[in-house]
């Protein structure tokens, strides 16, 4: 069994492998050197795993590339895998998310992009079509960009139904019940301290994760606030009590252990560093009712932060947890966050990590 960890950074992609159940890692790369890799995914539904990367050439614009030989060679659609139709008058600014759908839809891959847009591929990510239902939503002109830009950054297809959930900064959570045709905001209960009244939409939701035991139960790390819904986003309640701070970017849930999720608290939006400079993960085992600080092996005196996609879990048993920092360090845990080992340091700032177990 090989565990693969894809590390997207400001200046390239690194691929780390572990052959000993995620305890030690060998880092390969850089691949795509000097290109920003803000989105990465490992699609294990294919005969050969496909690494997809959303890249930014800096001078030469954004694109999607893929490798079917774990970084040996890279391919790119001549026309651009994500390419706004002419009638939109829009141009792709950045690919923020690449999300393979479920095993039941093996060729479907989703992309979340800036400007706020959702894209669907039916050929494994080689070409994407704009999801018009969200692009044409009457709310879209009033969605604001977050500090990093206005983008769909979270895509959660339901494996059992046609339901799709997305989150964006700063538009909030939207749900489609019908395979991404119709969309409705689902933000009731999520705070938006930067707006005068609790809005129907416009929240700056940083990341959303789905519980392992119930697809209607989701967790959200918001721009101030950590929330849970038990009804598919119909209403959200705070689960921030017990955390040292309710600000942060990532949130992840175990794909196999119901009620288990992790966050990485930062002091506040005006102070985006770990409390007391101690980089730690906080874990819940009871769907956010209580939280426990974990993360032996994570550093003290770490005045850095963890971006929304620089944190992920794998589908191992126990669940593996991965943390990438803006000062170029990557840590891995094979025991659901109890202990971490250093995978790599001195990398460019880490923008995205994704892990997969290869057959």
CA atoms within 13 Å, Cβ hemisphere of 198: 8
CA distance 6 to 133: 32
Q: How far is the CB of 252 from another protein (least distance, A)?
A: 30
If the CB atoms of residues 84 and 213 are measured against another protein, the closer one turns out to be 84
Report residue 69 as tokens.
């030989």
Query: Which residues of the chain form contacts with another protein (CB under 8 A)?
Result: 57-61, 63, 76, 78-80, 83-84, 86, 89-92
If the CB atoms of residues 85 and 159 are measured against another protein, the closer one turns out to be 85
Contact 15, 352 (CB under 8 A): no
If the CB atoms of residues 62 and 112 are measured against another protein, the closer one turns out to be 62
One-character DSSP codes across 152-217 = EEEEEE-SSSS-EEEEEETTEEEEESSSSSS-EE--TT---TTSSS--SS---EEEEEE-SS-TT-
If the CB atoms of residues 115 and 171 are measured against another protein, the closer one turns out to be 115
Q: How far is the CB of 31 from another protein (least distance, A)?
A: 16
CA distance 143 to 82: 21
Report residue 221 as tokens.
């790390």
If the CB atoms of residues 73 and 181 are measured against another protein, the closer one turns out to be 73
CA nearest 351: which of 28, 9, 51, 30? Answer: 9
Q: How far is the CB of 188 from another protein (least distance, A)?
A: 36
Q: How far is the CB of 79 from another protein (least distance, A)?
A: 6
Q: How far is the CB of 218 from another protein (least distance, A)?
A: 33
């Amino acid at each position: 069994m090989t565990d693969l960890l894809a590390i997207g950074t400001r200046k390239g992609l690194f691929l780390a492998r572990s052959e000993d159940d995620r305890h030690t890692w060998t880092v390969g790369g850089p691949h795509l050197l000097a290109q920003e890799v803000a989105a990465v995914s490992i699609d294990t539904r294919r005969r050969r795993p496909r690494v997809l990367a959303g890249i930014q050439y800096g001078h030469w614009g954004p694109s999607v590339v893929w490798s079917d030989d774990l970084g040996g060679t890279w391919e790119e659609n001549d026309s651009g895998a994500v390419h706004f139709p002419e009638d939109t008058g829009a141009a792709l600014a950045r690919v923020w998310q690449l999300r393979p759908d479920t095993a039941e839809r093996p060729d479907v891959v989703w992309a979340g992009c800036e400007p706020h847009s959702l894209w669907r591929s039916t050929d494994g990510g080689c070409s994407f079509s704009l999801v018009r239902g969200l692009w044409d939503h009457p709310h879209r002109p009033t969605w604001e960009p977050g500090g990093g830009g206005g983008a769909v950054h979270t895509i959660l297809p339901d494996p059992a139904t046609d339901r799709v959930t997305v989150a964006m900064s700063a538009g909030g959570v939207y749900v489609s019940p019908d395979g991404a045709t119709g969309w409705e905001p689902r933000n009731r209960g999520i705070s938006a301290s930067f707006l005068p009244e609790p809005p129907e939409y416009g929240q700056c939701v940083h990341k959303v994760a789905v519980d392992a035991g119930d697809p209607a139960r989701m967790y959200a790390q918001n721009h101030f606030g950590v929330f849970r819904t038990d009804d598919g986003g119909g209403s959200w309640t705070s689960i921030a009590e017990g955390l040292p701070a309710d600000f942060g970017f990532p949130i992840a849930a175990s794909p196999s252990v119901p009620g288990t999720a992790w966050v990485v608290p930062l002091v506040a939006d005006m102070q985006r560093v770990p409390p007391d400079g101690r980089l730690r993960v906080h874990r819940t085992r009871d769907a956010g009712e209580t939280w426990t600080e974990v993360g032996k092996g994570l550093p003290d005196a770490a005045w850095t932060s963890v971006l929304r996609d620089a944190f992920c879990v794998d589908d191992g048993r126990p669940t593996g947890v991965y943390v990438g920092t803006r000062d170029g360090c990557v840590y891995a845990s094979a025991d659901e966050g109890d202990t971490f080992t250093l995978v790599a340091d001195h990398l460019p700032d880490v923008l995205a990590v994704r892990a997969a177990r290869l057959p």
